[in-house]
């Protein structure tokens, strides 16, 4: 077929800039909304906060007052120049040919990656990071200058939990290629043994066994601690699988002494890097988006006031337009300036509309969740949670499922029983032997209660847990019980066993 140009018609679905802006705002949690608004105000000078103490403004005047004030004998074709925002309609100052539609200034694409952006964590400048803490200890090791360079490289090679999981040969190769430092394996191993003396105890370990041994060897020698070293060195696999009888038999000790040995090991820290790094991370505060009050059996929903900021179009932009209108001879530069003002005012109006629509969407969605889970909000009993999925809320609200998903994401509600993430209230349904639909969260709660009451010397297997649930009317398969147990972060029966 010969190449050429041809026109074709096709229907495509595109999101308007307003829809894109609303979707992005719906995902923003309350504690980040102020920051998002500040960014918009910085980028758009036509947008500003409405001051509480300001005198009566054009926004508060009636339409008649505005028309009387701005009507002129020279303007017979007067149109209402104020909209619902109380701001001048720029289109009345421009001819039809000049009044370009607002969408001409907006991006006609939707950046899918923009939704994945996360606000950066703020770290206090005075707080030292985990690696900074270790680098500060290098001077205390009394190493040579060349050895200090190697030690600094080792600090940069450890993981966040404090482990050095790379073998000496790969470390030696990296030192040669990246740092141009030539060192043999024995010398590198010597420096590694020296940095293992750093605090906290256990850093630079290559595995869990090595980490625990490093910590035990720093402690004062007692019989249980010496036996704990033997357990880790000679019976680590049996210890990890909780085969305590084999260890007792191998060490020729009684059960009481074995308990003391286990107590010494369990007091050790399996992630030494977490002690320091946890304090160096920025402290984040969770701000609830909603509050539900129980007023004598009647639930009342409150939206966090930070979700309803008072915004308006800047008055200075109105003044510029009025000055332009009163100018008899209008230059091209002035008309270009008014076009720019129109773009900024339209953008400000869109943002104000999006904020208001966000408030409405949040309130409607949370109100439906509150009504569906009314028993839980009145009692706080997890077994009163009803099965609920995103489609249930979408059907009742009229919103799309994707909209409900954005509302639920990273949002919290404060109740008299604590603060919960909205995702907490969503779960699949499960049919009991009586034919009733119950939430899978109810089944998990029952499963958790059964495990908490079991004998720790003889923990219940998944098969026995399944039988207990069936006795209570929850007819589920063993593999489903295993899945729920894993979701609750509960180990298998063998690992729950205690002496």
Residue 58 has pLDDT above 50, yes or no: no
User: Does 412 lie in the same domain as 290?
Assistant: yes
- pLDDT at residue 282, as a whole number: 44
User: Does 287 lie in the same domain as 274?
Assistant: no
Count the Cβ atoms, other than its own, within 10 Å of residue 477: 9
Structurally, the chain folds into a number of domains equal to: 3
Task: Answer whether residue 73 is part of any domain.
Answer: no
Q: How far is the C-alpha of 317 from the C-alpha of 93, rounded, in Å?
A: 13
Task: Check residue 380 and give left, alpha or beta (phi > 0: left; psi -120 to 50: alpha).
Answer: left
User: Does 290 lie in the same domain as 402?
Assistant: yes
User: Does 433 lie in the same domain as 306?
Assistant: no
Last residue of a domain, one of 216, 249, 278: 278
User: Does 135 lie in the same domain as 227?
Assistant: yes
CA angle 451, 439, 300 (to 5 degrees): 115
Residues in the chain: 499
- pLDDT at residue 498, as a whole number: 76
> What residue numbers bound the domain in which 173 lies?
130-278
User: Does 406 lie in the same domain as 310?
Assistant: yes
Q: How far is the C-alpha of 303 from the C-alpha of 367, rounded, in Å?
A: 10
User: Does 290 lie in the same domain as 248?
Assistant: no
Residue 370 has pLDDT above 70, yes or no: yes
Task: Answer whether residue 63 is part of any domain.
Answer: no
Q: How far is the C-alpha of 412 from the C-alpha of 414, rounded, in Å?
A: 7
User: Does 145 lie in the same domain as 23?
Assistant: no
User: Does 375 lie in the same domain as 408?
Assistant: yes
User: Does 334 lie in the same domain as 457?
Assistant: no
182 contacts: CB under 8 Å, gap ≥ 6: 175, 176
Lowest mean pLDDT among 93-107, 268-282, 387-401, 439-453: 93-107
User: Does 416 lie in the same domain as 449?
Assistant: no
Report the pLDDT averaged over residues 46-71.
Answer: 50
Which one has a higher pLDDT value, 116 or 428? Answer: 428
pLDDT digits (tens, 9 = 90+) for 140-172: 888 888 888 998 899 888 888 888 888 899 989
The CATH number linked to 478 is 1.10.10.60
Contact 198, 218 (CB under 8 A): no
pLDDT digits (tens, 9 = 90+) for 430-461: 777 766 677 788 888 888 888 888 888 888 88
Please list the alpha-helical segments (H only) found in 398-439: 401-408
Task: Answer whether residue 287 is part of any domain.
Answer: yes
Please list the alpha-helical segments (H only) found in 30-129: 30-43, 63-70
Last residue of a domain, one of 246, 278, 310: 278
Task: Answer whether residue 363 is part of any domain.
Answer: yes
Report CA-CA distances (Å) from 179 to 141, 152, 169, 188, 192: 21, 11, 15, 14, 17
Residue 365 has pLDDT above 90, yes or no: yes
Count the Cβ atoms, other than its own, within 10 Å of residue 297: 6
User: Does 480 lie in the same domain as 352?
Assistant: no
Q: Give percent of the chain with pLDDT exceeding 70.
A: 78
CA nearest neighbour of 265 among 302, 216, 329: 216
Count the Cβ atoms, other than its own, within 10 Å of residue 99: 16
pLDDT digits (tens, 9 = 90+) for 329-351: 667 777 777 788 878 888 888 88
Task: Answer whether residue 200 is part of any domain.
Answer: yes
Task: Answer whether residue 6 is part of any domain.
Answer: no
pLDDT-based confidence at residue 138 (cuts at 50, 70, 90): confident
Report the pLDDT averaged over residues 358-383.
Answer: 90
CA nearest neighbour of 154 among 210, 205, 97: 205
Q: Give percent of the chain with pLDDT exceeding 90.
A: 9
- pLDDT at residue 427, as a whole number: 82
Greatest CA separation for the chain:
110
Task: Answer whether residue 87 is part of any domain.
Answer: no
pTM: 0.55
Please list the alpha-helical segments (H only) found in 282-331: 315-326
Task: Answer whether residue 313 is part of any domain.
Answer: yes
pLDDT-based confidence at residue 377 (cuts at 50, 70, 90): very high
pLDDT digits (tens, 9 = 90+) for 387-421: 888 999 999 999 989 889 888 888 899 999 889 98
Which one has a higher pLDDT value, 435 or 73? Answer: 435
- pLDDT at residue 369, as a whole number: 93
Contact 66, 82 (CB under 8 A): yes
pLDDT digits (tens, 9 = 90+) for 210-226: 999 999 988 888 888 89
């Amino acid at each position: 077929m010969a190449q050429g140009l041809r026109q074709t018609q096709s229907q495509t679905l595109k999101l308007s800039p307003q829809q894109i802006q609303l979707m992005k705002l719906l995902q923003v949690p309350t504690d980040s909304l102020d920051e998002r608004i500040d960014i918009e105000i910085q980028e758009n000078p036509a947008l500003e906060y409405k001051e509480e103490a300001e005198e009566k403004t054009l926004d508060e005047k009636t339409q008649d007052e505005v028309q009387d004030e701005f009507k002129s004998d020279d303007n017979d074709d007067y149109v209402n120049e104020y909209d619902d925002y109380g701001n001048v309609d720029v289109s009345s100052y421009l001819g039809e040919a000049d009044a370009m539609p607002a969408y001409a200034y907006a991006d006609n694409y939707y950046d899918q990656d923009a939704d994945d952006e996360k606000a950066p964590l703020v770290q206090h400048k005075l707080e030292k990071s985990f690696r900074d803490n270790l680098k500060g200890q290098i001077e205390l090791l009394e190493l040579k200058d060349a050895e200090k360079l190697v030690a600094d490289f080792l600090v940069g090679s450890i993981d966040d939990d404090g482990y050095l999981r790379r073998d000496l040969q790969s470390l030696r190769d990296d030192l040669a290629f990246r740092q141009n430092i030539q060192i043999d394996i024995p010398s590198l191993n010597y420096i590694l043994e020296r940095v293992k003396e750093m605090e906290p105890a256990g850093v630079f370990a290559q595995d869990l066994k090595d980490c625990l041994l490093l910590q035990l060897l720093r402690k004062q020698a007692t019989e249980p601690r010496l036996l704990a070293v033997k357990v880790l060195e000679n019976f680590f696999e049996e210890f990890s699988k909780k085969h305590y009888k084999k260890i007792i038999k191998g060490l020729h000790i009684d059960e009481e002494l074995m308990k003391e040995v286990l107590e010494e090991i369990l007091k050790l820290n399996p992630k030494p890097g977490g002690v320091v790094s946890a304090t160096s991370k920025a402290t984040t505060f969770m701000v609830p988006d909603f509050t539900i009050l129980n007023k004598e059996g009647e639930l009342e929903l409150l939206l966090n006031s930070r979700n309803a900021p008072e915004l308006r179009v800047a008055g200075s932009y109105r003044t510029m337009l009025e000055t332009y209108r009163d100018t008899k001879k209008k230059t091209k530069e002035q008309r270009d300036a008014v076009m720019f003002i129109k773009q900024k005012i339209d953008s400000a109006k869109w943002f104000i509309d999006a904020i208001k629509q966000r408030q409405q969407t949040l309130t409607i969605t949370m109100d439906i969740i509150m009504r569906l889970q009314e028993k839980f909000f009145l009692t706080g009993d997890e077994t009163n949670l009803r099965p609920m999925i995103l489609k249930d809320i979408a059907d009742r609200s009229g919103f799309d499922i994707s909209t409900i998903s954005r509302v639920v994401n990273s949002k919290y509600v404060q109740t008299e029983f604590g603060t919960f993430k909205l995702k907490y209230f969503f779960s699949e349904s499960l049919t009991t032997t009586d034919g009733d639909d119950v939430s899978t969260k109810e089944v998990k709660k029952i499963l958790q209660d059964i495990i908490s009451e079991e004998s720790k010397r003889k923990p219940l297997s998944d098969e026995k847990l399944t039988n207990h649930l069936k006795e209570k009317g929850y007819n589920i398969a063993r593999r489903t019980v295993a899945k729920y147990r894993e979701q609750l972060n509960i180990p298998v029966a063998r690992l729950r066993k205690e002496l």
